[in-house]
Structure 1
């Protein structure tokens, strides 16, 4: 009598803590009645993944602790920007079939726990639910794996015109879409974007889609300055330009108006860029913070109150933002594929992906991990 074979496992990049990532074989998750099983197609490496690797748990549970809502504890599978193909559906899932191509909204809200919505969710702000968690950080499973089981309500069906690699960009693009929408930006307005990292560049690209009149970008690195122009900026200014006391404010006054821009998007998280954002916005204009700050910053509220400027911010996205991004992709007005600068296999995700971003951050916008792809690196 033959012995049974080994149990099926999946390949996953597991996060144990600071600078401790391990490629492991782990048991697959069961597919519950309200869930679907996905074969991961692509997963983007986010700046938050880099912060977790370099600095230790920020969003994942701390060592020895569990997430109070999901029960997740270290090690966790990283990756929250992913697309995939449905391979199995739960008994209660009827709108998705095996073979469906989807992107995933990784954020959890009260619906995912099967409980009554909190007051924040009732206000339509599920992105800041009191019990927020996220696949790839604090909920079961992540995108740096060969497969994942996710709740069906997290899935966003991809139109035939949107390839799976672009599907993995929906999450950062939804962050940018949410920023414009929450800031109240409207067609014909002017904007300043401080920082041309992946989110800053996504905001630039979407500002062009939304019909911005003038887009000014502040960025110090040559490679990202070039990308900002390519993605739609009218002018890119180096805030450290020699001989300029305040190069950003000067550029805004020359290119837009002596009054300033309508909206400034702060995507860097530095004291200097916050100061530039506040100074560069017109009376009654809006400063929108999308950056995650490593330390508290100083702000003189008189600079806000005396000219009735608005200072606000945003976090993550809702399904409305994903729908907006997909609509722009279907129209052909959003050249999202430009964001992809490299694709690596899951086996090479650490050296060719995470460490590559640490070594050569300014040379990349978005590196994708392809679990089912060939080994090595593909340059696009």
Structure 2
């Protein structure tokens, strides 16, 4: 089968490889669509980061480069291994793409398995990936999804789960007190910022977004995930948020850029005792204003990935509370991964939100 393989920084090759063997407790998934993630771009530009370098196998998967890429994917079950009685050939599924040690509790009550030692991801550290025609996955990480959800939209469940977990980390969730009437400020309308906004809107939160790109500001409005979208090069975001909240400030803020000036703006725009959630991956140290943190009694929280978030995220999509179709801005085949996909997202990222890849080429117009 054909697959996109990471060899090293700047070296991704589409090549023929043998399919993975079906083992006890696993199922084979014919991949329908796989999204290109910012993490994939970082591996291409600066890696290996999550991908294990050649000669340095990952301690859990035991694999090293080359590895198959792709961790945001949907597909159809094509083969079911022994030991599985609740999946059938033809089921539509998405994958929670974790690689986690066997002795870690990944049960439904766990809130920390995503923070376990040597945690990594299918499609980055081995065990196949979504940028291949099919992939074999352990049952624990496979989630069924209704046939009523198109498979291209289903490929966005994984990044949407990142947004869902970020919202949970903020203290606003469907399981707590109603968040309606709260105001959230999001710094950055990239894929994760937009999908976090979609979760917030589904919960009844008023969403304000700050974004430089005109196209992404318009996407937030067209998709209906933001009530107010601000251009920080033209307006004082802090003053605008103060006006919108009768001088109080935002209840929660989500940093989705890893840009210092955005972090500073969010801290200024939060109300006293507000919550700041850092969603983006920072590859450098921040000049954090500790005095402001103390004087406003801000609550700063990090968030990474998701933990038992997929079922609730899927419910939001299946119920129609979140429409993922506006965020799909391109569809390509595997041969266009670097020249069409990566190049667009690296050099013209303001023109795209989520580019999907069809490893088989099916569904490409």
The two structures have a TM-score, normalised by structure 2, of 0.94
Q: Name stretches of at least 5 consecutive residues in structure 1 with no aligned partner.
A: 1-9
Asked if the contact 2:32–2:151 (Cα under 8 Å) also holds between the matched residues in 1, the reply is yes
In structure 2, do the counterparts of structure 1 residues 359 and 374 end up closer, same or farther at CA, with 3 Å as the change threshold?
A: farther
Query: What residue is the counterpart of 2:188 in the other structure?
Result: 195
Mapped partners of 1:55, 1:11: distance in 2: 25
Query: What residue is the counterpart of 1:3 in the other structure?
Result: none
What does 1:81-120 correspond to in 2, within 5 Å?
A: 81-110=72-101, 113=102, 115=103, 117=105
Query: What residue is the counterpart of 2:312 in the other structure?
Result: 324
| Shift of residue 277, structure 1, vs aligned partner | 1.2
Query: What residue is the counterpart of 2:216 in the other structure?
Result: 224
Asked if the contact 1:80–1:142 (Cα under 8 Å) also holds between the matched residues in 2, the reply is yes
Does 2:138 align with 1:151? Answer: yes
Mapped partners of 1:364, 1:223: distance in 2: 9
| Shift of residue 92, structure 1, vs aligned partner | 0.6
Does 2:282 align with 1:293? Answer: yes
Deviation by residue 1:163-213 (Cα, 9 ceiling, x = unmatched): 11111100000000111111102232101000000000111122111101x
What does 1:10-21 correspond to in 2, within 5 Å?
A: 10-21=1-12
Query: What residue is the counterpart of 2:154 in the other structure?
Result: 167
RMSD of aligned Cα (Å): 1.8
| Shift of residue 257, structure 1, vs aligned partner | 3.1
Asked if the contact 1:70–1:133 (Cα under 8 Å) also holds between the matched residues in 2, the reply is no
Mapped partners of 1:27, 1:289: distance in 2: 40
Asked if the contact 1:121–1:129 (Cα under 8 Å) also holds between the matched residues in 2, the reply is no
1:215 corresponds, among 183, 207, 215, to 207
| Shift of residue 374, structure 1, vs aligned partner | 4.9
Query: What residue is the counterpart of 1:51 in the other structure?
Result: 42
Mapped partners of 2:81, 2:159: distance in 1: 28
The two structures have a TM-score, normalised by structure 1, of 0.90
Mapped partners of 2:144, 2:263: distance in 1: 37
More RCO (CA 8 Å, sep 6+): 2
Does 2:250 align with 1:258? Answer: no
Does 2:353 align with 1:361? Answer: no
Query: What residue is the counterpart of 1:234 in the other structure?
Result: 227
Mapped partners of 1:374, 1:136: distance in 2: 21
Q: Name stretches of at least 5 consecutive residues in structure 2 with no aligned partner.
A: 173-178
How many residue pairs get matched? 358
1:42 corresponds, among 24, 27, 33, to 33
Mapped partners of 1:96, 1:35: distance in 2: 10
Return the index of the structure with the highest Cα Rg: 1
